Structure 1
Amino acid sequence: MDLSDFTFEPQLARASTIPARWYTDPAMLETESRKVFGRTWQAVGRRDAVAAPGSYLASEITGEPVLVTRDAEGTLRAFSNVCRHRGSLLAEGCGQAPVIRCPYHAWTYSLDGRLHGQPEFEGVENWDRSQICLPPYQVAEWGPFVFVNQDPQAPPLAEVLGAIPREAAEIGCRMDQLRFSARRDYVIECNWKVYIDNYLEGYHLPAAHPSLFRELDYAQYRVETFRYYSSQIAPIRAQTGEGGRRYAYADSSNRALYYWIFPNFMLNVYPDNMSSNLILPLGPDRTLTIFEWFAYGGAEVAQATIDFSDEIQQEDIKICESVQRGLKSRNYSQGRFSVKRENGVHHFHGLLAEFVGS
């Protein structure tokens, strides 16, 4: 794909946004699938799905089938979820099995990815069974999540996360104790980058999110950018009088942390719960957003918290779908950034340009 219509400007005050075509052209999504999603850490499922030895989890990354297993010794591994014989998918969903069995011709693979058995395959020449294995991927666990990276040269997940684990712990979030509580899926008629752009700035809070705006101390709201992620620091406004907050917090830290991890994963961290947003492109103008909530032990996230999140999400859906329609206009090509409020979007566009251009 020709990307000559955009050169990233590192100086925010001089920079323009990525071109409208990057949000609408199917060829751009194909490029992103290979160069962005195929080379970054992607959340593929929850850790509890592969907690036990002998368990597996099938997922995909922009159409590329992936398989996560935990072998009998407890080692977590990830592979291509495609049989080396005739290309059938090997597994679906999650479960437990001593081997992975292809549903097409019953070839089997050990949980370490090696070929285990292939019925009625005698007489094949120039074929070394010992060399047949599922192509491996990088895999890592953090908190309640499992991540996979298809690029063997990519930096480890811990390097990508940077200070996020420490900072979350400092406000009372105990990642290893979080347990799944609820999930909501939203299909939005916009490009995945429109949704990311929207998440990465608080500039629209006063106009678009009146309830959330009342919760947060907007004057102190700031975005800090790092190599592969950004954080939005949002102090929770002191409440006086009747009514109180829409959220209830377990301690007095009165802080909320909002993290975006390039390219498509967000964490919303509070002292007594956490939610994640996974943004998956379904097409150049269609996106699946998966919200999951996590709480401690067997506790449930309060329904009021989920309802409030849904209220904000519905407001964002309306905005993002409006933006997508506007990006198709002949009268729009690029925009400029608010130096005070949109450094997070500028940071995202820089990383995107880096990955698609390399």
Structure 2
Amino acid sequence: MQQSIDSLLQQLRENAALPFEQARAMPKAVYTHPEFLEQEQTHIFKQEWICVGRQDAAKNPGDYFSCEIAGEPILVIRDKEQQLRAFSNVCLHRLSTLKQGSGNCARVVCPYHGWAYNLTGKLVGAPQMQHSPGFNKQDYQLPEVRLEIWQGWVYLTLNNDAEPMTDKLSTLSDKINRYGMEHYTQTFCETHVWDTNWKILAENFMESYHLPVLHSGTVGPHSKLEDMDCPPGEPAYNYHWLRKEASLAIGNAHPDNTALEGDWRYTTALIAIYPGHLITLTPGYFWYLSLQPLAVDKVQILYGGGLSPEFIDDPEGIKAIEQLKILLDEVNVEDRQGVEAVFKGAHSALAEPGHLCWLERPNYDFANYLSQRINGK
């Protein structure tokens, strides 16, 4: 018999209320209960700011890309005044989606009946509609979706009352401004779907405890857990630091980088911005995941990476990011095996969640965030 949603929420609330030293991993049903996902969509994904990529994915007027938030189709497009905007990606005539993927256009033309919208979302063309007396082009404007840019990332929200993203992440900006992440250039971006719950993948990215074991064939041997710093998180995010001499040159500051000094030239920040924007930020490159649940057992992953300005300008930089991409793809294969195995284990009637390690402080903070949002506190 499936646990009731009220019982599950109470269990999550009680676990989150424990001090970190006594806390356990989240209850199994938070990963498997369909009603819990409905609560997440209602209280989190339809309310929070969601990262949909980098602003340099649409650099020029008419550049666009499509995305979805909680099942809502959205079009992100740069207008003629170089402003990046977001609109409903649904035609106001017979409800066809307007654009798929990414590209460039002078007008957004519906593939169903040819209704056309300009780059500010106004209807500018409607074939044969001049014969409909009640029709007026001026009445049609694609609904606009709130969009903010933070550190070069494009964030959207369906919640008109959401706190501005720049205010929400002001303390994180203070911690990482020295990297100049807003000036990094994206060099690859892909979309994948894995067969696991989105929170299992989010938690996997947040903690480095698993690195020596799960990633023994890739980055594990270079991961020194004793060199990690896992401070308590903040309401909108958690983070931890890793200081190391990187195996690839782009993991450390470029010789031309004059902004970073001392240990900061060798320090990596691992950042989780709730609900599912996960960033590894190094002095030379970043890579990231942005997660959205498709079902209890499926997560859509926006996966990308890029280089700091100094490495972008270095002829060897792109070669290095190609090497890094090969490594990250191998790391993702290991992660996928791990998080899909955890999802299978979450269905076990015999298993119970265990105590958290000191390196899993970010997971404790994430569980508190979920409990507060889902329980409405």
Fold match, TM over 0.5?
Answer: yes
Of 302, 315, 326, 2:334 maps to: 315
The match for 1:354 is: 372
State the alpha-carbon separation in 1 of the partners of residues 213 and 79 from structure 2: 51
Instruction: Report the RMSD for the aligned CA atoms in angstroms.
Output: 2.7
Give the Å deviation of 1:351: 1.5
SS for the counterpart of 1:342 is helix
Of 308, 332, 348, 2:351 maps to: 332
The match for 2:363 is: 345
Counterpart mapping for 1:187-336 below 5 A: 187-210=193-216, 212-224=219-231, 225-236=233-244, 245-248=246-249, 249=252, 250=254, 253-295=265-307, 296=309, 297=312, 299-300=317-318, 301-332=320-351, 334-336=353-355
Partner amino acid, structure 2, of 1:348: F
SS for the counterpart of 1:24 is coil
Of 47, 65, 78, 2:86 maps to: 78
State the alpha-carbon separation in 2 of the partners of residues 16 and 6 from structure 1: 15
Moved more, 254-263 or 106-115: 106-115
Show CA shifts across 1:101-158 (max 9, x none).
2222222223222333433345455x77544322221112234432211111111121
Change beyond 3 A, Cα 1:129–1:16:
farther
Verify the 8 A CA contact 1:160 1:229 in the aligned structure 2. Answer: no
Partner amino acid, structure 2, of 1:101: V
State the alpha-carbon separation in 1 of the partners of residues 76 and 20 from structure 2: 40
Of 135, 140, 145, 1:132 maps to: 140
Moved more, 219-228 or 198-207: 198-207
Change beyond 3 A, Cα 1:133–1:2:
farther
Q: Is residue 114 of structure 1 aligned with residue 115 of structure 2?
A: no
The match for 1:241 is: none
Where in structure 1 are there 5+ consecutive unaligned residues? 239-244
Change beyond 3 A, Cα 1:145–1:119:
same
Q: Is residue 46 of structure 1 aligned with residue 54 of structure 2?
A: yes
Q: Is residue 5 of structure 1 aligned with residue 8 of structure 2?
A: yes
Verify the 8 A CA contact 1:65 1:80 in the aligned structure 2. Answer: yes
Query: Structure 1 or 2: larger helix share?
Result: 2
Where in structure 2 are there 5+ consecutive unaligned residues? 256-261
Verify the 8 A CA contact 2:200 2:339 in the aligned structure 1. Answer: yes
Give the Å deviation of 1:286: 2.4
SS for the counterpart of 1:83 is coil
Verify the 8 A CA contact 2:208 2:359 in the aligned structure 1. Answer: yes
State the alpha-carbon separation in 1 of the partners of residues 356 and 301 from structure 2: 25
Give the Å deviation of 1:335: 4.1
* TM-score, normalising length: structure 2: 0.82
Verify the 8 A CA contact 1:16 1:336 in the aligned structure 2. Answer: yes
State the alpha-carbon separation in 1 of the partners of residues 321 and 115 from structure 2: 46
Change beyond 3 A, Cα 1:69–1:315:
closer
Partner amino acid, structure 1, of 2:362: G
Change beyond 3 A, Cα 1:17–1:59:
same
The match for 1:242 is: none
Structure 1 vs Structure 2: percent identity of aligned residues?
27
Moved more, 78-87 or 44-53: 44-53
The count of corresponding residues between Structure 1 and Structure 2 is 347
Partner amino acid, structure 1, of 2:169: L
Show CA shifts across 1:166-209 (max 9, x none).
43342xx3324322223455543211111111122222234333
SS for the counterpart of 1:45 is strand
State the alpha-carbon separation in 2 of the partners of residues 129 and 3 from structure 1: 49
State the alpha-carbon separation in 1 of the partners of residues 326 and 118 from structure 2: 44
State the alpha-carbon separation in 1 of the partners of residues 243 and 364 from structure 2: 23
Change beyond 3 A, Cα 1:51–1:185:
closer
SS for the counterpart of 2:103 is strand
Give the Å deviation of 1:164: 3.4
SS for the counterpart of 1:146 is strand
Show CA shifts across 1:193-243 (max 9, x none).
11111122222234333453443442231223012111111111x6xxxxx
Verify the 8 A CA contact 1:256 1:271 in the aligned structure 2. Answer: yes
Change beyond 3 A, Cα 1:128–1:334:
farther
SS for the counterpart of 2:167 is helix
SS for the counterpart of 2:90 is coil
SS for the counterpart of 1:306 is helix
Give the Å deviation of 1:14: 4.4
